[in-house]
Chains A and B, each alone.
Chain A
Amino acid sequence: DIQMTQSPSFLSASVGERVTLSCRASQNINKYLDWYQQKLGEAPKLLIYNTNNLHTGIPSRFSGSGSGTDYTLTISSLQPEDVATYFCLQRNSWPRTFGGGTKLELK
C-alpha cells in the first residue's frame, strides 16, 4: 500500500497568513492527489482534486501543487472558517490511502 505522510500534524497560524500543508507519498502517485477539509463533527469536504483542480464552490484562496511524491496545499490568506483538519488522498493505486491529517488552528 502507498503510505501518505502529512506534515505538520498540527499548525497554528494567524488570520491573513499564508499557510502551506504538505503531503508526501511513499512512491510516485502521478498527481492523483486530492485534498479534503474536515471540520469538527462533519464529513470531509472536497477542496482540490488531481493535485491542482479546485472543486466547485471552493474559495480561490485554496490552491494545490506538486508532482511525483510531494504535494502541497496552500491557503493564501487564512480565514477563521478555515480552522479544520486537512487530509490528502491518493487515487493512483489500490487501496486508496489517506494521509494522517494536518490540524489547522488559529493563533
Chain B
Amino acid sequence: GAVVSQHPSWVICKSGTSVKIECRSLDFQATTMFWYRQFPKQSLMLMATSNEGSKATYEQGVEKDKFLINHASLTLSTLTVTSAHPEDSSFYICSALPPSGRPLNEQFFGPGTRLTVL
C-alpha cells in the first residue's frame, strides 16, 4: 500500500520560533497533498491543499503567512509554522493523493506530528 511519512513525529518549541514539518510520499508520486489540523478529541480540519509546483490553496480562516506550505517535489511537501504561539499547539496530519486513477483515488495519511509550543 501507499505509505506517507511525516517528520518529526513530535516537536516542542519556544513561542516565537518557527517549526518545519515534512510530509513525504515514500512509494508513489503525489501531485496533491493536504494538510490537516486536529485538536484533542476533535475532527480533522483541512488547512490547505498543496499542489506540486504551484502555490497552496488555503481554506477560509487559515493564515497563509503563518502556515507556509511548500510542495517542491512530487514526494515532499512541507508546512512551516512561523512565529509559533501556544495556540498553534496541535496535531498536524498530512495526506497525499496519488495522481493515477483519478477521481477514484483515496488520500493516504501520514502518522501526524504533535506540535507543542511553550
**Pair from one complex:** no
Which residues from chain A sit less than 8 Å from chain B, CB to CB?
none
Which residues from chain B sit less than 8 Å from chain A, CB to CB?
none
